[in-house]
A and B are shown apart, each in its own frame.
Chain A
């Protein structure tokens, strides 16, 4: 079946613009995670959802970052007033349950803020 998909795959934006990054989890997966990954580094946890409920957003760097998953499926990570330091790979992952399940990662969105 289809894996986790993310769009856009690449996004170049100017400093100060808002961007919205989309994640389509594997069908039926109830948990969805957002990560940021700097070049050559492991993923950095941002936030996650069980169904539509955001469980923890302590990993979000600041209040310019927000995420939603209104119907418990597709999720959007929004970055307002982007800054150059926001440039990174943004990955989402989904898992079939709310417990300790394997997470399946999407291909990521490469964000470049100029």
Chain B
């Protein structure tokens, strides 16, 4: 069974708070780890693709790290804004398939 776990399931923070959440995945047969931002009723929007152990990627206030040996990735949002409210999905890719986690639903209150 290929389990991709995300925690927490949901998160409520105040505007300006920094936050982070976790994606756990199998440490074998790793090919890539994807992060997406998804607003309900829209399509998932790609944030990062990471392939190497120790990778760190950054886009504006959002950054991510990757540890393939222990099977986890962190997504960080610095100074959360209400427009960051969305579900953040990670997806673990082996060569020929891809498994998504259930997502972390972030709500940022003004």
- Measured CB to CB, the residues of A under 8 A from B are 33, 35, 40-45, 48, 55-56, 58-59, 91, 100-108
Q: Which residues of A contact B99 (CB under 8 A)?
A: 45
**What is the CB-to-nearest-CB distance from A92 to chain B, in angstroms, rounded to a whole number?**
10
How distant is the Cα of A91 from the Cα of B100 in the complex, in angstroms? 13
A to B contact number (C-beta, < 8 Å): 50
For residue B101, CB closer than 8 A to chain A, the reply is yes
Interface residues on B, range: 20 to 34
How distant is the Cα of A55 from the Cα of B97 in the complex, in angstroms? 9
Q: Is the CB of B49 within 8 A of A56?
A: no
A42-B102, A105-B44 as given contacts; A55 in contact with B49, CB under 8 Å: no
New A-B pairs, 7, CB < 8 Å, besides A45-B99, A58-B97: A42-B89, A42-B100, A43-B44, A48-B97, A56-B97, A58-B96, A105-B44
